[in-house]
Structure 1
Amino acid sequence: MRNVVEKLAVWTGWLGRAALWLSGIGLVLMTAFVFAQVFYRYVLGSSLFWAEPASVILMGWFIFLGAAVGIREGYHLSFDVLLFVLPEKVRLTFFSISDLVVAAFGFGMLKYGWELADKMAATTISGLGVSGAFRFVPVAAGGALLMIFCAERILRRLAGLSTSRFGDDHDAAELEGNAVTGKGN
Structure 2
Amino acid sequence: MRSLLTALTRCNDIITRLIKVIVVFMVIVMVCAIIWQIGMRYVFNRPPSWTEELALLLFSWSMLLMMAVGVRETFHVRMDILVVLLPKAGSRLLHAVIDVAIAGFGGYLAWAGVTYAVDMYGATSAAMAYPIVILYSAAPVSGVLIFIYSLELLLARHVAGDNP
**What residue in structure 1 maps to residue 15 of structure 2?**
15
Q: CA deviation at 1:61?
A: 0.5
Counterpart secondary structure, 1:125? coil
Following superposition of structure 1 onto structure 2, how do residues 27-176 of structure 1 map, counting pairs within 5 Å? 27-160=27-160
Length, aligned pairs only: 162
Deviations 1:123-171 (A, max 9, x none): 110221211112211111110100000111111122227xxxxxxx9xx
Task: State the AA in 1 paired with 2:119.
Answer: K
* Structure with more relative contact order (C-alpha pairs < 8 Å, separation 6 or more): 1
Task: State the AA in 1 paired with 2:113.
Answer: G
Task: State the AA in 2 paired with 1:76.
Answer: H
**Contiguous gaps of at least 5 residues in structure 2:** none
Task: State the AA in 1 paired with 2:54.
Answer: A
Structure 1 runs (4+) greater than 6 angstroms displaced: none
Percent identity over the alignment is 23
**Contiguous gaps of at least 5 residues in structure 1:** 162-168, 170-185
Tell me, yes or no, if the aligned pair for 2:61 and 2:135 is still in contact at 8 Å. no
Q: Which moved more, 1:62-71 or 1:152-161?
A: 152-161
Tell me, yes or no, if the aligned pair for 2:121 and 2:133 is still in contact at 8 Å. yes
| Distance in 1 of aligned mates of 2:16 and 2:126 | 32
Task: State the AA in 2 paired with 1:128.
Answer: M
Task: State the AA in 1 paired with 2:100.
Answer: L
Tell me, yes or no, if the aligned pair for 2:103 and 2:147 is still in contact at 8 Å. yes
Q: CA deviation at 1:24?
A: 1.9
Alpha carbon RMSD of aligned pairs, Å?
Answer: 1.5
